[in-house]
Chain A
Amino acid sequence: GIQVEQSPPDLILQEGANSTLRCNFSDSVNNLQWFHQNPWGQLINLFYIPSGTKQNGRLSATTVATERYSLLYISSSQTTDSGVYFCAVEAWNRDDKIIFGKGTRLHILP
């Protein structure tokens, strides 16, 4: 099946810093999502981004489907950005399963 690799696995930053999280996938995909898991376990939808670039406030994401990767940018980090960020992909020719990467754990220090 499709492999989804996220990097880095852990990231510690000072408040106000910028960060880039990466998601690589091993085969063509039709959909890609970024999620933020908060301290209570809830998965918050950040971006639904099969291709192209989207921005939402301090967050933006870019997916280059032909090169099989996606990037999540966080600017001017805040302590509330802490948590785990997951990338998930879906391929219509692979039973339509949604496959998750192992996540990037982000710690923002005050």
Chain B
Amino acid sequence: DGGITQSPKYLFRKEGQNVTLSCEQNLNHDAMYWYRQDPGQGLRLIYYSQIVNDFQKGDIAEGYSVSREKKESFPLTVTSAQKNPTAFYLCASSNMGRDRNTEAFFGQGTRLTVV
């Protein structure tokens, strides 16, 4: 089935450790996005990528890093520099282009807890 897959669904991390969240899509979408959601809050953009080997910072990029080595994959690393990493992380993908449908689709999310 076509879609966007995030793993793991739940993740626990000790303070001071880096952790990587996986996001894979088989929709042949050009653009991919990472958002953070805190309890009772909206979605805030961390990083986004419009093309392989290129990505841009969103509104809250500090303490996070990404890579886009393949069109299908956009992993997010939460580094030890992120002061408050406990949150729900959502990945999305969409087409690009002014003559195309650019509807975005989301994965099921990863809940990260620092213990």
A residues engaging B (CB < 8 A)?
Answer: 30-31, 33, 35, 40-43, 45, 48, 86, 88, 90, 92, 95-103
Contact = CB atoms under 8 A, between A and B. Distances in A.
Contacts of A98: 33, 45, 48, 92, 94, 104
B5 to A, nearest CB: 13
Given A42-B106, A92-B98, A102 B42 contact: yes
Contact of B42 (A45, A86, A92): A86
Contacts of B94: 98
Contact of A100 (B43, B48, B111): B43
B102 interface: yes
Contacts of A95: 56
Given A30-B102, A48-B101, 9 more contacts: A30-B98, A31-B103, A40-B108, A43-B90, A88-B104, A96-B50, A97-B45, A97-B48, A98-B104
